[in-house]
Amino acid sequence: MITRSVTIEDIDHLYLMWNGHINASALYRRALREEMDVRDVDPDELRDLLERAREQGYTLDEIAEDTNRFDDLQSLVEEQQNQPTAGDATDE
């Protein structure tokens, strides 16, 4: 898991202090899922593509550097998947 810093207003901080039972991390993730929904990104598909890219040897930093949206990640994974491996090359 990667931790990011998030700036919150004093009223947010106070409210969270009053309600220590609230999981701020879950609220943040819920807000991100809502943003994904607005942009028509299925979190399960995104998770699958990210896992496939990592299985292909990409690091999270490389993926972020080479892509900036869902379609880019999908293309990256499919291009790598369609690349012939050394064992697949045939001699002519």
Task: Please state the separation of Cα 82 from the chain's center in Å.
Answer: 22
* Residues 6 or more apart in contact with residue 63 via CB below 8 angstroms: 50, 53, 54, 73, 76
- Ordered mean pLDDT values, 10 residues apiece, the chain (92 residues): 81 94 92 95 96 96 94 94 66 50
pTM of the predicted structure, to 2 decimals: 0.73
According to the model, what pLDDT value does residue 89 have? 55
According to the model, what pLDDT value does residue 83 have? 79
- How far is the C-alpha of 18 from the C-alpha of 31, rounded, in Å? 21
According to the model, what pLDDT value does residue 82 have? 86
According to the model, what pLDDT value does residue 88 have? 57
Strand, coil or helix: what is 1?
A: coil
According to the model, what pLDDT value does residue 14 have? 95
